Amino acid sequence: MNSTRDRRFFGTDGIRGRVGQKPITPEDILHLGWAVGKALATHVGSEVLIGKDTRESGYMMESALESGLSAAGVGVVLTGPLPTPAVACLTRASNAVAGIMISASHNPYHDNGVKFFTSDGQKFSDDLEDKIEVLLADNIQTVTSGVMGKARRYNRAADDYVAYCQNQVGVDLDLSDFKIVLDCAHGAAYEIGPKLLSCFGAEIVLAGALPNGYNINDGCGSVHPQHMAELVKKHNADLGIALDGDADRVVLADASGKVVDGDGILYLLGVYRQKDPSVADGIVGTVMSNFGLELACRERGIAFERSNVGDRYVLEKMCAKRWTLGGETSGHIIQLDKGTTGDGLLTAVSVLEVMRSTGRTLAELVSGLRIYPQSMINVPINGSVSAAILLKDETVINAVREVESALDCNGRVVLRPSGTEPVVRVMVEGVDVVQVEILVDQLTRAVVSSSAKY
């Protein structure tokens, strides 16, 4: 099977969809649990660690996965609500053969999904995902009684992860004179987030920490950072932190309420790392990273490379270059010297460590970065046509040429299909903000027009 096509279930980051529709039905998730168990069962007593965010559908999916894994002879370790990076970390630190996170990340509550990690905290390989896809075509065959998987609770999961994060920045980090707004998006970090910052003595203004199963990412968190930014100004805080639903992304705000996204975070961490020869390497961004980040890195003598959008592609390039820092504008930041995947909380604490060490504010730390005007629109497309085919349509191709000609080499155009939703992301970047908005609208109309043909 080709890993880039002909897949019924796996997308760019696990499996995701609308709850109650394929592949997020109880039957599908039960079958998935069994297929994963069959693909991973290496010995009697094998266990898979399962975490989840705060969506109401997480209960259904957790139970279905548990049943499927048990039927395949694999045990289950249940953590309850826990950030995605915590699942990766604790899977690596335990004897689990894999970790599973039940989450649709930044999507609304009516979506859900499943992310997978190997025993060393890495995302599943294409080959392993292909193997699971093949097994999903088979009927479930339950192992005999006596070798079925058992389930147990991991009651210290949150505490163990907090201790891990403390160790990555130093348990003696003193934030007692910091006032911090923390927006947990009513998601997986609603308890563990304030617990971690409290360990360093910070004064916390807590938001988005009352999940009810339906309000995850709703008008809050990194998807809507202005909510956090306004709280920073209201409470005269030193920093604002906005996480997404599964806390693998983070967006910040400085003391004035100005939002700092993943590009700004990569810049300040990259500059700070120049002081340490052991981690003073380059930065991997994506095709969506602002051109200003590339220029600022060049001015500071920091190597910069772009990958395709998606944390797995960022990670691939990081490993190929043997660099330890990379990420996306969305705030999905990977620090390979601290963890194996994007980690919103650990990234935020790392920034606080830089602020404390340098004595500089967030605004001062990103002052050397000029962000070029950039506009991106998610354009819904006709579900009967693939985005890849749509982007080869003559109308779209001609529209791209016209926009590039108008930019006259002083900007960039990126059209790419979403890996998780039936949309095409249309991005234009340039020097003049008015021109950028006009051109992105022009491209959007071309994509909508082409989609209507099919």
Q: Is the peptide bond before 194 cis (omega within 30 degrees of 0)?
A: no
Classify domain 15-155 at the CATH topology level: Alpha-D-Glucose-1,6-Bisphosphate; Chain A, domain 3 (3.40.120)
Task: Give the catalytic positions in this structure.
Answer: 105
Looking at residue 6, its pLDDT comes to 59
Q: What is the pTM of this model?
A: 0.89
434: Cα separation from own chain's centroid? 30
Looking at residue 419, its pLDDT comes to 67
Classify domain 160-365 at the CATH topology level: Alpha-D-Glucose-1,6-Bisphosphate; Chain A, domain 3 (3.40.120)
Is 15-155's fold the same as 374-451's?
no
Looking at residue 149, its pLDDT comes to 94
Radius of gyration of the chain (CA): 22
Which residue type, as a one-letter code, is found at position 240?
G
CA distance 85 to 244: 12
Count other Cβ atoms within 10 Å, centred on residue 408.
9
Query: Residue by residue, what is the 3-state secondary structure of 395-448?
Result: HHHHHHHHHHHHHCCCCEEEEEECCCCCEEEEEEECCCHHHHHHHHHHHHHHHH
CA distance 290 to 265: 12
Classify domain 374-451 at the CATH topology level: TATA-Binding Protein (3.30.310)
Report the run of H or E that residue 273 belongs to, with start and end: helix 262-273
Report the run of H or E that residue 334 belongs to, with start and end: strand 333-335
Task: Check if the beta carbon of residue 221 is closer than 8 Å to that of residue 181.
Answer: no
CA distance 206 to 209: 7
Looking at residue 384, its pLDDT comes to 64
Looking at residue 1, its pLDDT comes to 36
Identify the segments of the chain with pLDDT beneath 70: 1-6, 383-385, 419-420
Looking at residue 5, its pLDDT comes to 46
CA distance 184 to 106: 12
Which among 348, 319, 353 has a CA at the least distance from the CA of 332? 348
Q: Give the domain ranges of the chain.
A: 15-155, 160-365, 374-451
CA distance 66 to 85: 21
